[in-house]
């Protein structure tokens, strides 16, 4: 809740190249762990970042403002007086970083925690009295433009507005629910509006209690890691400090696997609940653990169990995870109140949604294939482990055996991954040649090439992208576009992340095991460029065929982030375009004509504009009648756009033969694929991608089609 730019963590490009550039040449020692972390992070950033910044007064002001925003984004804790008291540090943080001085962080931490404690009294006092929903009042949610409260009186009134809005929303829902219930049971005894208002406040009180419980779980380390990360992010949006736990999550995210029991947990009412069992995992196969169970104790094999009641979720997860083939015993409370001790042997858990999935598209008598690629995953700990390139190659071979005549690769919402993996994957579609150019901080250029002359797939190819396709996704789309190997369909442009990061363990840099795990630094060390010489930084990859989507009018790309690196261009690499599908411009012209005359796509564009207006609307009436009028107006628009849900293509989607065999033992996987296939029939972008594949297969008749359109 406190990190406003959490989405950046998803947009990662990681490679395993290079050395530590002699960082460990300087002996950095400090008995204080926090000072040690700040010392080594600043040292590495100044010497290794692609475009190092001067740590000066301007840098200091950036850190000051960003820390305020990151820790109190909704302006609910600090006042103008607090901020003025802290402003003495505004031009001193740079000097403190150089001297490993934490005076600013220490004072900020003390003030913030004091204000958080005071706020607990505000919300309980406010929610103890009824709200008057007949008064004219407005809740403003544009926190970026909102200054800090002048004093505690104004701060308390902000809490009142926010809590009143939450209560109004709950009150409205309760009235709606009661109206629906009376339709089913005419004898139902109705609650008075006063009782519904009390119930609404009780709901808000419970939710706010849970919010503050989660805040109370944050320890000093959590806030300090935010501070260090902001120092890193001030160099560019993709340079981050990863805490020890953050590094573990990063590795899991990149590899798509971890060692554990195969269950997702969440904290609810102070308890650690089983939220989901991962298909195929040990807990799922064990068939004793159930969704809704509450974990009370955790034991490692025959050791004494440890109670996790009141424990932070992160710490509970650490106890449950562990080395492969080791036993963990969970004492759980069932929904019926009974308790049971369940023994589970930890295994390697593969997060199925991380990996490639594919389907055969049946269009009349013709088959096409679609591959959904969530990220360019790789297992850095195992050179022979699973990678996106290997998995895509296997799917391509299967498609060929099933007589598929064209291929769609769906990179929508794919935030990136391994650079080497994307180079290997691009090589599946061309004979050989450069895939991407990389330039390091010393401005040396390196061309990464596909040197394997074999081609796994030489048929028609369409790549689907959107505004959230980033990094490695942009490399693949750009390379295929430059080679004229594929038609790129999607948003006006992709995300625009044209930088390369390397992860460095801080303990490794110090070369001192005695300091323990002090996290890692993910740092921008290179920029990459298309084979035509242009950078994807800021500009992204411009689609050959543009189809509007819900992000079309929303600022969401790299160009909208803070302090991004700039776009530039270098010399083109030596590459030879594919040119085996005739004039792609003619094929693009056919698609554009279909899009311009497609009423569903026009409706999509209208919906995207509506989403933009809704996003910009940050004033909410706290008068019930005015609130209802606003809700009804929004409902009218929402109902109008529901017509888009009725869209169905005439395409059918099926799993490949090998996956159908897996369904015999894995009904959960079968259900997931069934839902995915259903969503594909509603996907207007996939339908147009299939049309483009048809045109690519009919290149000889394209000129006559173009002539018909012009006439």
From CA 272, how far away is CA 295, in angstroms rounded?
A: 6
pLDDT at 640: 86
pLDDT digits (tens, 9 = 90+) for 230-240: 999 999 999 99
pLDDT at 708: 54
Of 391, 482, 549, 683, which is the active-site residue? 482
Nearest to 462 by CA among 696, 706, 698: 696
280 pLDDT tier (thresholds 50, 70, 90)? low
Q: Give me the percent of the chain exceeding a pLDDT of 90.
A: 57
Sign of the CA dihedral with 381 first, then 668, 398, and 681 last: negative
pLDDT digits (tens, 9 = 90+) for 514-544: 888 899 999 999 999 999 999 999 999 999 9
Indicate the DSSP class of residue 186: T
383 pLDDT tier (thresholds 50, 70, 90)? confident
Number of alpha carbons in the 13 Å side-chain half-sphere of residue 245: 12
CATH number at residue 586: 3.90.226.10
> Which run of H or of E encompasses 410?
strand 407-410
The whole-angstrom distance between residue 117's C-alpha and the CA centroid of its chain comes to 31
Number of alpha carbons in the 13 Å side-chain half-sphere of residue 86: 24
Would you say residue 628 lies in a domain? yes
From CA 203, how far away is CA 201, in angstroms rounded?
A: 5
Answer whether residue 590 shows pLDDT above 90.
yes
pLDDT at 20: 35
Whether 497 is catalytic is: yes
Q: Is 168 helix (H, G, I), strand (E, B) or coil?
A: helix
Whether 164 is catalytic is: no
Answer whether residue 561 shows pLDDT above 90.
no
Burial code (b: 16+ CB inside 10 Å, e: under 16) for 1-18 equals eeeebeebbebbbbbeee
Answer whether residue 112 shows pLDDT above 60.
yes
Would you say residue 25 lies in a domain? no
CATH number at residue 304: 2.30.42.10
From CA 528, how far away is CA 50, in angstroms rounded?
A: 12
Answer whether residue 15 shows pLDDT above 70.
no
pLDDT at 448: 96
Q: Does 416 share its domain with 328? A: no
From CA 162, how far away is CA 211, in angstroms rounded?
A: 14
Q: Does 308 share its domain with 421? A: no
Q: Does 220 share its domain with 294? A: no
pLDDT digits (tens, 9 = 90+) for 173-222: 899 989 888 888 888 888 999 999 999 999 999 889 888 888 888 899 99
Q: Does 341 share its domain with 371? A: no
Q: Does 370 share its domain with 490? A: yes
Domain span at residue 610 reads 354-710
Whether 633 is catalytic is: no
Answer whether residue 37 shows pLDDT above 70.
yes
Last residue within a domain, chosen from 298, 327, 350: 350
Please state, in angstroms and as integers, the Cα–Cα distance from residue 692 to each residue in 177, 313, 586, 648, 704, following that order: 47, 48, 11, 18, 16
Answer whether residue 496 shows pLDDT above 80.
yes
252 pLDDT tier (thresholds 50, 70, 90)? low
pLDDT digits (tens, 9 = 90+) for 627-681: 999 989 888 888 888 888 889 999 999 999 999 999 998 887 898 899 899 999 9
Q: Does 596 share its domain with 659? A: yes
Would you say residue 10 lies in a domain? no
Q: Is 391 helix (H, G, I), strand (E, B) or coil?
A: helix
From CA 518, how far away is CA 221, in angstroms rounded?
A: 11
Q: Does 305 share its domain with 379? A: no
Q: Does 545 share its domain with 676? A: yes
pLDDT at 18: 29
Segment 321-326 mean pLDDT: 87
What total of structural domains would you count in the chain?
A: 3
Q: Does 160 share its domain with 200? A: yes
Of 469, 471, 535, 561, which is the active-site residue? 471
Answer whether residue 595 shows pLDDT above 90.
yes
Answer whether residue 625 shows pLDDT above 90.
yes
48 pLDDT tier (thresholds 50, 70, 90)? very high
Cα distance between the two ends of the chain: 57
From CA 545, how far away is CA 491, in angstroms rounded?
A: 8
Q: Does 175 share its domain with 295? A: no
Higher model confidence: residue 411 or residue 508? 411
Of 257, 439, 497, 522, which is the active-site residue? 497
Segment 136-150 mean pLDDT: 88
């Amino acid at each position: 809740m406190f990190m406003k730019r959490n989405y950046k963590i998803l947009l990662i490009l990681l490679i395993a190249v290079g050395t530590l550039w002699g960082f460990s040449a300087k002996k950095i020692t400090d008995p204080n762990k926090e000072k040690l972390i700040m010392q080594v992070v600043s040292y590495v950033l100044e010497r290794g970042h692609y475009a190092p910044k001067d740590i000066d007064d301007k840098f200091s002001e950036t850190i000051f403002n960003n820390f305020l925003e990151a820790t109190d984004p909704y302006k609910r804790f600090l006042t103008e007086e607090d901020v003025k008291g802290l402003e003495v540090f505004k031009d001193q943080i740079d000097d403190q970083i150089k001297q490993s001085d934490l005076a600013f962080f220490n004072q900020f931490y003390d003030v913030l925690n004091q204000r958080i404690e005071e706020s607990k009294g505000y919300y309980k006092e406010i929610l103890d009295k009824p709200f008057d929903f007949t008064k004219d009042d407005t809740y403003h949610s544009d926190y970026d433009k909102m200054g800090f409260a002048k004093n505690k009186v104004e701060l308390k009134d902000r809490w009142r507005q926010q809590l009143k809005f939450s209560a109004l929303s709950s009150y409205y829902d309760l009235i709606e629910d009661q109206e629906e219930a009376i339709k089913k049971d005419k004898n139902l005894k109705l609650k008075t509006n006063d009782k519904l208002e009390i119930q609404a406040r009780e709901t808000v009180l419970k939710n706010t209690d849970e919010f503050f419980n989660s805040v109370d779980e944050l320890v000093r380390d959590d806030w300090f890691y935010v501070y260090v990360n902001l120092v890193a992010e001030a160099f560019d949006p993709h340079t981050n400090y990863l805490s020890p736990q953050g590094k573990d999550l990063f590795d899991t995210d990149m590899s798509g696997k971890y060692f554990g029991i195969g269950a997702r947990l969440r904290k609810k009412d102070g308890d650690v609940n089983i939220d989901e069992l991962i298909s195929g995992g040990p807990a799922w196969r064990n068939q004793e653990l159930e969704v809704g169970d509450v974990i009370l104790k955790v034991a490692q094999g025959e050791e004494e169990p440890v109670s996790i009641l009141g424990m932070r979720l992160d710490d509970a997860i650490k106890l449950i995870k562990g080395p492969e083939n080791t036993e963990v015993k969970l004492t759980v409370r069932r929904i019926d109140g009974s308790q049971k001790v369940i023994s589970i042997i930890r295994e390697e858990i593969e997060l199925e949604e991380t990996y490639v999935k594919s389907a055969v598209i049946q269009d009349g008598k013709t088959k096409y294939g679609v591959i959904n690629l969530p990220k360019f995953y790789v297992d850095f700990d195992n050179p022979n482990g699973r990678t996106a390139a290997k998995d895509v190659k296997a799917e391509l071979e299967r498609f060929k055996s099933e007589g598929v005549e064209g291929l769609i690769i769906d990179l929508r919402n794919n935030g990136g991954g391994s650079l080497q993996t994307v180079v290997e994957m691009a090589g599946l579609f061309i004979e050989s040649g450069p895939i991407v150019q990389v330039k390091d901080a010393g401005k040396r250029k390196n061309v990464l090439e596909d040197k394997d002359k074999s081609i796994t797939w030489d048929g028609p190819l369409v790549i689907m992208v959107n505004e959230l396709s980033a990094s490695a996704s942009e490399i693949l789309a750009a390379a295929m576009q430059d080679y004229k190997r594929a038609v790129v369909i999607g948003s006006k442009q992709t995300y625009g992340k044209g930088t390369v990061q390397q992860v460095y363990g801080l303990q490794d840099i110090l070369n001192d095991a005695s300091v323990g795990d002090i996290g890692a630094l993910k740092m921008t060390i290179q920029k990459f460029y298309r084979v035509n010489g242009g950078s994807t930084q800021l500009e992204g990859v411009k689609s050959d065929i543009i189809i509007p989507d819900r992000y079309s009018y929303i600022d969401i790309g790299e160009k909208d982030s803070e302090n991004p690196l700039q776009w530039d261009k270098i010399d083109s690499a030596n590459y030879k375009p594919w040119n085996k599908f005739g004039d792609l411009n003619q094929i693009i012209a056919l698609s554009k004509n279909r899009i311009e005359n497609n009423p569903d796509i026009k409706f999509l564009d209208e919906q995207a504009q509506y989403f933009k207006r809704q996003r910009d609307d940050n004033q909410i009436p706290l008068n019930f009648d005015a609130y209802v009028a606003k809700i009804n107006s929004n409902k009218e628009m929402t109902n109008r756009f529901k017509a888009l849900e009725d869209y169905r293509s005439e395409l059918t989607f099926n799993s490949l033969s090998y996956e159908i065999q897996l369904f015999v033992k894995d009904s959960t996987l079968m259900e997931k694929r069934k839902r995915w296939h259903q969503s594909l029939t509603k996907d207007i972008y996939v339908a147009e991608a299939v049309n483009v594949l048809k045109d690519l297969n009919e290149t000889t008749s394209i000129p006559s089609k173009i002539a018909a359109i012009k006439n």
